A = this chain, B = another copy of it.
């Protein structure tokens, strides 16, 4: 069982970083004077209704049930900007009537069957880190709703070292799995930004990608088996390297986002833990030149395991927010100017693996990066990124305190369409936010992802409408430009209206058919992933 996050924001107090004074000064130069810090409402002011779970469920599962205020508020939603706006305002109306924490697969099954029988909606809960409304407590017409916390299914059930397959409880935290695998000399290599809290089942349910997924592969490539407890029955797909017996039900479970059932077990491909990890910074004359270098590396089979390329605005934002100022900033700028990459695009590239393999692979890549006009900034720049890689959500809390709307969204498309999509989404967001930044974070032979960050002064009291307008503009731009509505955040509630544009009416009908079959009562995570009628 993992640690619990702050009810009004990300993570835990003792892990929290904060925005430096230098960064704040830089940001005020961009956005104007920010508010004095103002946190969430006091705990006592949080509003939620009395629980109203039917006795049939409450009495039967008394020993794994909590319906105290703390449990219900903590499970009320995820960690998206609108989630936090509502939590900070103390609005927990609609929170789950109870949190159930089954101890094994059979108990999950019993809960689902009881809830289906009693007409209780169920929201599966892993690490609670969704940023797309995946945990929104929507009742779908049912009177009651429970949060199904899978945190007790947290065992490393088996590690087959010969086949490099680990069997993992769906509720096991990624960070805990890495620790257990590390003891035996292995790694999963899956590091989403939510890494410190996310569960493996949650990663599978949301089709996540990690910061090193260019090298290790996305979760859909790492999952080789899965067990889904659906109200209608168990879907038990053993670990298998490959099969021609399609359609591939593993890929139906992966990405099912709790709407078909709860993932109680996952079999994942693991690898030997890397002997060395080496991250470094490179500066390119521009985003286009950098992207071209990464495309060539990826299509030539020579991509680094981590490859992140910021556009010029994100590079400027990064330098501003890390507070590189005064003499150091002057020296850096002079160096970048001298090398012709001032005002350029920063890339972080990283390799993991056996010492010799990293050396050989890096050598090939470095040549290509230089050919593309890249200037090496060395490992210190890489270390800055490694130190701060999971800090973003904490800084968001700090910025929200000061009245900043800060949000991220992501998409992907083919290389040929990448810059059309980049410009379309950037233009759409700039109508709503003065600061728009973007990076490429995942490379594929046929295309890449784009990850946007945008910031604006929040209009106090109107944050949700303000956010909604910006988000809708970006989503519409993505759809119009033919990008996917989500590269690694999942569909959740926020992207559900756009799924139809991506898979068409027949695709939506096929997904609905799966849903009807596996969850005939419609209790599983209502209002998520599928467009509502």
- A interface, CB within 8 angstroms of B: 160, 162-165, 206-209, 218, 220, 224, 230, 232-249, 251-257, 269, 271-272, 295, 299, 301, 353, 357, 360, 412-417, 442, 444-449, 482, 484-491, 495, 499, 502-507, 509-514, 516-518
Contact = CB atoms under 8 A, between A and B. Distances in A.
A245 B218 CA distance: 13
Nearest to A448: B241
Given A224-B446, A233-B505, A301-B357, A248 B245 contact: no
Interface centre among A235, A246, A495 (most CB of B within 10 A): A246
Given A503-B237, A506-B234, A513-B514, A248 B251 contact: yes
B241 A447 contact: yes
A131 B269 CA distance: 31
Contact of A241 (B242, B414, B506, B509): B414
30 contacts: A162-B416, A163-B416, A163-B417, A164-B445, A207-B246, A218-B242, A232-B506, A233-B506, A234-B504, A238-B482, A240-B412, A240-B414, A241-B414, A241-B445, A241-B449, A242-B412, A243-B485, A243-B486, A244-B486, A244-B489, A245-B490, A246-B257, A247-B251, A247-B511, A249-B507, A252-B252, A360-B360, A510-B514, A510-B517, A514-B514
B162 A415 contact: yes
A26 B360 CA distance: 49
A200 to B, nearest CB: 16
A444 to B, nearest CB: 4
Interface centre among A240, A412, A416, A516 (most CB of B within 10 A): A240
A245 B482 contact: no
B269 A445 contact: yes
A499 B245 contact: yes
Q: What is the oligomeric copy number? A: 2
A246 B415 CA distance: 22
Contacts of A251: 246-248, 251-252
Given A240-B412, A412-B242, A517-B509, A249 B503 contact: yes
A236 to B, nearest CB: 5
Considering the complex of A and B, which 3 residue pairs feature the smallest CB-CB distances, nearest first? A246-B255, A241-B447, A513-B517
A124 to B, nearest CB: 15
Given A445-B164, A506-B233, A256 B246 contact: yes
Contact of A242 (B235, B245, B415, B484): B484
B507 A241 contact: no
Nearest to A243: B484
A123 to B, nearest CB: 18
Nearest to A490: B244
Given A163-B415, A446-B163, A446-B165, A244 B301 contact: no
Nearest to A218: B242
B514 A442 contact: no
Contacts of A503: 235, 237, 245, 249
Contact of A447 (B237, B240, B247): B240
A253 B269 CA distance: 25
B248 A220 contact: yes
Given A243-B485, A510-B518, 5 more contacts: A165-B446, A218-B242, A240-B412, A246-B257, A248-B251
A353 B301 CA distance: 10
A187 to B, nearest CB: 13
Contacts of A502: 243, 245
A240 B484 contact: yes
